[in-house]
Amino acid sequence: MLALAPCAARAQKATPPTPAQVAQEVRDYRLDNEDRIIRELSEFLAIPNVATDTPNIQKNAAHLVEMLEARGIETHLLPVTGRGPVVFGKLITAEAKRTVIFYAHYDGQPVDAAAWTDGKPFEPVLRDGAIEAGGKRIPFPENSAQHRAVYDGNWRIYARSSSDDKSPIVALLAAIDALRAKEIPLAVNLKVIFEGEEEAGSTNLQRTLELHKNLLGADLLITADGPVHQSGRPLVFFGNRGDIGIDLTVYGAVRALHSGHYGNWAPNPAMELSRLLASMKSADGRVLIDGYYDDATPLTEVEKKALAEMPDNDADLERELGIAQPEGGGKKLVELLMQPSLNVRGLRSAYVGDQAQNVVPEKAEASLEARLVKGEDPKHKFDQIAAFIEKQGFYLIDHEPTIEERRAHAQIAKVVYEGGYRASRTPMDLPMSKAVVDVVRAAAGNDTVVMPSSGGSVPMYIFEDLGLQWVGVPIVNYDNHQHSSDENLRLGHFWRGMEIYGAILADLNW
Ligand SMILES: [Zn+2]
């Protein structure tokens, strides 16, 4: 099987191979072992991994333990009642100065098999391209001694979690195999945290990790979750946004009324809600709520410079998405992602289309969300929004209004805080931040995109609270349909990811 100790002779050499050399060695190893690597990935993908499917999520964890122990990685399961455990692993290298935790999650979003082109999200399918580009289903190539399997970089594997988030786990383990085969020692102590309920909200992660804090000493955490930049270029990111949800309901009469007999007289909650929502933002998307931008920690000069250097593909996105005029008053998408947002996630009042009825609705509902940036407190953001609604003349409640309340107040809004969490952002000018960027650039190319914060939300504050600074090094393709049907992994990205992780393991130091 695998040699467990790195070659001592190589380990004592003064200069380790450069990240570019490591990437080349990993590539060389991969070309000889594609069949084995893809088989390991496919077997892992074939275990259904919806977080609430307890028997199967446990099978995933057990399978992960086997995968880790096969590499001589010391493994502990940190139990979570009724859910998949946190799979923790540790690989110590005697000469290493630094310890890096690698985070990924092994659960996936729920699946609607009927919506998948191949109908079976847990039976990995190989295609010679993306389905949207006419990619055809092809058999997994046969491997033999004379003829090694060669997987084209444009081929894709379709299965739930093929990109989010099982493939980074397999890429990391394959990178370890490659380093050992090439007798390249690890430069860091490696710990892994593989979570089994990320897609179900990471409800137990913080508590579980706090209970096992003694295991988690490290200098840096690298998260593999998420895709690379839309341009296809590699990505290193240093933050993500927080998120809160709000349920908003505006009331009219106690029941829907005939619009002919009562129209012009009965207050219309759909109109009231529309007026209220429209008053929250200016035409170019600026939130008009008092103090909405005040708490945001300003970007540092380093962060501003990184934003300015990011590729500007807004025009391509506008073309692809059919947008004539974006919000933001001329600011670039990436700049706007660094600000708090206010979004109407959904709206509902009475019926539309074929079901339309001639009524004055009895209520109108909106689901709102705000993405938070560093410096903002989730509950305070909710309070700002609620105070604004009150200032517009609404009587605020957190329950269905009573008849007395309806009679006493012309405008009533039920405003319910659905919870949320804060943003997290690691300074880009820390020595370790620079070291990660340098290694990834040297391994994967100087065109690597460096982003102060992604626009999305993952509860990385949990790690921040444990005293861990973190950096995101995702590897999978942007067009991977994550969370949706036909989730896929482009193999060229997977191969490059192995090289990036190999270079981090072999060269990261500061
Ligand atoms: Zn994910």
Q: Which stretch of 17-21, 160-164, 453-457 has the lowest confidence by average pLDDT?
A: 453-457
Whether 4 shows a pLDDT value over 70: the answer reads no
pLDDT of residue 15: 78
If you measure from the C-alpha of residue 205 to the centroid of ligand 1, how many angstroms do you get, rounded to a whole number? 14
Residue 129's contacts (CB-CB under 8 Å, 6 or more residues apart) are: 135, 136, 154, 155, 156
pLDDT tier at 146, thresholds 50, 70, 90: low
Strand-pairing partners, residue 76, are: 88
Instruction: Enter the DSSP assignment of 411.
Output: S
If you measure from the C-alpha of residue 159 to the centroid of ligand 1, how many angstroms do you get, rounded to a whole number? 14
User: pLDDT tens for residues 365-417?
Assistant: 999 999 999 999 999 999 999 999 999 999 999 999 999 999 999 999 999 99
Mean pLDDT of 204-218: 95
Q: Which stretch of 212-216, 228-232, 446-450 has the lowest confidence by average pLDDT?
A: 228-232
If you measure from the C-alpha of residue 407 to the centroid of ligand 1, how many angstroms do you get, rounded to a whole number? 48
Mean pLDDT of 13-20: 82
If you measure from the C-alpha of residue 300 to the centroid of ligand 1, how many angstroms do you get, rounded to a whole number? 28
CA 469/CA 307 separation, integer angstroms: 21
Q: Round the CA-based radius of gyration of the chain to a whole number and report it.
A: 26
Whether 64 shows a pLDDT value over 60: the answer reads yes
Whether 187 shows a pLDDT value over 70: the answer reads yes
If you measure from the C-alpha of residue 439 to the centroid of ligand 1, how many angstroms do you get, rounded to a whole number? 23
If you measure from the C-alpha of residue 498 to the centroid of ligand 1, how many angstroms do you get, rounded to a whole number? 18
pLDDT tier at 13, thresholds 50, 70, 90: low
Mean pLDDT of 306-314: 93
Q: What are phi and psi of 444, to 5 degrees?
A: -120, -10
Mean pLDDT of 300-325: 94
Question: How much of the chain, in percent, has pLDDT values that exceed 70?
Answer: 96
Residue of 438, 436, 8, 65 lying closest to 180 (CA atoms)? 8
If you measure from the C-alpha of residue 163 to the centroid of ligand 1, how many angstroms do you get, rounded to a whole number? 8
CA 395/CA 250 separation, integer angstroms: 10
Whether 8 shows a pLDDT value over 50: the answer reads no
pLDDT of residue 2: 47
Residue of 389, 297, 303, 286 lying closest to 341 (CA atoms)? 286
**Where is pLDDT greater, at 213 or 9?**
213
If you measure from the C-alpha of residue 109 to the centroid of ligand 1, how many angstroms do you get, rounded to a whole number? 9
Question: How much of the chain, in percent, has pLDDT values that exceed 90?
Answer: 90
If you measure from the C-alpha of residue 105 to the centroid of ligand 1, how many angstroms do you get, rounded to a whole number? 6
CA 99/CA 420 separation, integer angstroms: 31
CA 302/CA 8 separation, integer angstroms: 40
If you measure from the C-alpha of residue 196 to the centroid of ligand 1, how many angstroms do you get, rounded to a whole number? 11
Whether 337 shows a pLDDT value over 80: the answer reads yes
If you measure from the C-alpha of residue 334 to the centroid of ligand 1, how many angstroms do you get, rounded to a whole number? 21
Mean pLDDT of 250-257: 98
If you measure from the C-alpha of residue 165 to the centroid of ligand 1, how many angstroms do you get, rounded to a whole number? 5
User: pLDDT tens for residues 158-171?
Assistant: 999 999 999 999 99
Mean pLDDT of 459-481: 95
pLDDT of residue 145: 67
User: pLDDT tens for residues 341-372?
Assistant: 999 999 999 999 999 999 999 999 999 999 99
pLDDT of residue 148: 74
pLDDT of residue 149: 73
If you measure from the C-alpha of residue 108 to the centroid of ligand 1, how many angstroms do you get, rounded to a whole number? 7
- Calculate the alpha carbon distances from 363 to 9, 184, 248, 355, 490 in Å: 75, 66, 10, 17, 46
What is the residue-averaged pLDDT of the chain? 94
pLDDT tier at 11, thresholds 50, 70, 90: very low
pLDDT tier at 3, thresholds 50, 70, 90: very low
If you measure from the C-alpha of residue 164 to the centroid of ligand 1, how many angstroms do you get, rounded to a whole number? 5
- Calculate the alpha carbon distances from 77 to 48, 196, 466 in Å: 19, 11, 19
Q: Which stretch of 2-6, 199-203, 379-383, 495-499 has the lowest confidence by average pLDDT?
A: 2-6
Q: Spell out the alpha helix ranges (H) of 70-218.
A: 166-181, 205-211
